[in-house]
Amino acid sequence: MHYFDYAATTKMSGLALEAYMETAKHFYGNSESLHDIGTNAHAVLEKSRALISGYLGIPAESIYFTSGGTEGNLLAILSLAMGAANKGKHIISSMAEHASVHSALSFLEQQGFEVTRIPFTKKGTLHLDKLEQAIRPDTVLVSIQHLNQEIGTIQPIGDISRIVKGRGILFHSDCVQSFGKADLNSIIPFVDSITVSSHKIHGPKGVGAVYIHPSCVVKPVFSHLSHEKGIRGGTVNVPGIAGFAVAVEDISIERERDWAFRNLLKQASGGMVTFIEGAPEAQLPSLVGCMIPGVQGQLVLLECNKAGFAISTGSACQEHHEGGSKAVEAMGYPKEVSDQFFRISFGRYTTKEEVVLLGKTLKKIAAVYGKIRYPFGIKI
C-alpha cells in the first residue's frame, strides 16, 4: 500500500522504537515508587519531560503526560472550565473541532455550561467577527484548534488571543495536528493550554501531553489521584514517553517539499479534483482536503484502497460515524457537498512517484464516476 493517511497516524521511527524498547527493558519501574528501580524510571520520565518542554519553549512543570490527544483535550478543557466555573459557564469553540473537543463540550453542557460554536469562513478559518460577537460577560473559555484536521487550514491564534485575553478568558488550542508540522513556539505566548500527541510525529501510540500555563487555576476532573500532579491518574507509560521524547528530537518540518507534492498532486489529477484549501499563508501543505464532484468520499476511499492507496474521509476518530466533513459544513456548504469529502496527507516517507501515481488514480476515478460540473451549483 502507498500510505497517504499521515494525518491519522504515522509509522514509529526506528529511533523512537529503539528508545521505547530499551526503556521498557531497563527502566520498567513505576515512576512513583520510592525504591531505586522506581527512581530510575522517574529520572527517565523527567528527562523526557524536559526534552519536550524544551522543544516547545515552556517550563517542564507545565507539561502533563496523557494517553494521547483525545484524553489531553478532555482533561484540559474540563479542568480549565471547572476551574473557572465560579466566574461563568459560557464557552466558545468552532463547529469543526476534533471529536474529542466536541465530546468534552457536550459533557460540560450536561453540567450546566453553555457552548457557542462559531462557523468558518469560505477560506476555512474561524469567523473572527462572529467570535467577538459571541463573547459574553460569563464567557470563561475559548477552545479553537490550531490546525484543522480535515482540510489543514491554520487558525489565526494570535488574532483570537487578542480578542479574548484582555477579557480574562482562558484560551485552549488543540495542537495535535500541527505539532511537528507547524511552528508551535510562535503561538505558545497566546494560549493558556495546548494538546499534543506522540503518534502523529512517528512516536508511540497511546502517549500525549497537555501544556497548561502555571498561572491557570486547574480543577482535576477526578480527585485523589497521585500521578502527574493529580491531573491524570494511572501508572505513567515511561517507555512510551521516552519514545515520544526521541520522536520530538527527530522532528523535521518539510514545508517546501510538501508544497511541491501538493502542486504535483494537482497537476497529476488533471483538474478533475476539487481542492478545499485556505490562503497559502494559512494552509498546511501536507494535509489536502479534496472532492471529486458528484462522487461520495467513501467511494473514492474504497476505489483508492483497491488501487493500493491508503487515504481517508476525515478524522479517524469519527471515520465510522455517519456524516461528512465538519470543516466543509462549517464553511457553509450543505451536507451533500461535505459527503463528497476525502483527505490526503503526506509524510516523512512519501515519494514524488507515489504522489504522481495517486493523482493519476484520482483522475481515473473521476473519469469513471464523476460529473463534469460542480454539485448543486456550488463551486468550492
Residues 187-210 pLDDT 10s: 999 999 999 999 999 999 999 999
What are the CA-CA distances from residue 303 to residues 1, 179, 370 (Å)?
A: 13, 31, 13
DSSP three-state, residue 66: strand
The amino acid present at 361, given as its one-letter code, is T
Residues designated as active site: 317
**Fold adopted by 2-9+253-371:** Aspartate Aminotransferase, domain 1 (3.90.1150)
Check: CB of residue 182 under 8 Å from CB of residue 213.
no
DSSP three-state, residue 260: helix
Can you name the residues that pair with 347 across neighbouring β-strands? none
Stated as kind and residue range, the H or E segment containing 183 is: none
Residues of the chain with CATH 3.90.1150.10: 2-9+253-371
What are the CA-CA distances from residue 245 to residues 48, 49, 53, 73, 180 (Å)?
A: 5, 8, 10, 20, 12
Q: Which residues of the chain have pLDDT under 50?
A: 319-322, 373-380
DSSP string, 10-42: -PPPHHHHHHHHHHHHH--S-TT--SHHHHHHH
DSSP class of 380: -
Give the position of cell 484543522.
Answer: 148
Assigned CATH for 14-249: 3.40.640.10
Residues of the chain with CATH 3.40.640.10: 14-249
